[in-house]
Amino acid sequence: MQSIILIRHGYLQSWDDRPKGRGTPPHLRIDPALAELGKRQAALSAARIATADAVLCSPFRSCLETADAFAATTKATVTADWKLGEILISSVLGIPYSPTMGMDPDWTERRVGAGKPSHPESDRTVQERVAKTVNELKARKPFAGRLVIVSHDTILKALVAAMTGRTVTLDWHPCGLATLVRAKPVDRQWRVTGLLGDVSHLGADDRCEPAEDIVVKYHPNDSRS
Give domain limits for the chain: 2-206
- CB atoms closer than 10 angstroms to residue 214: 9
- Summarised one tens digit per residue, pLDDT across range 90-118 is 555 555 556 787 889 999 999 999 998 88
Higher pLDDT, 189 or 141: 189
- Summarised one tens digit per residue, pLDDT across range 193-216 is 999 999 999 988 898 865 444 444
Instruction: State whether CATH 1.20.1560.10 applies to domain 2-206.
Output: no
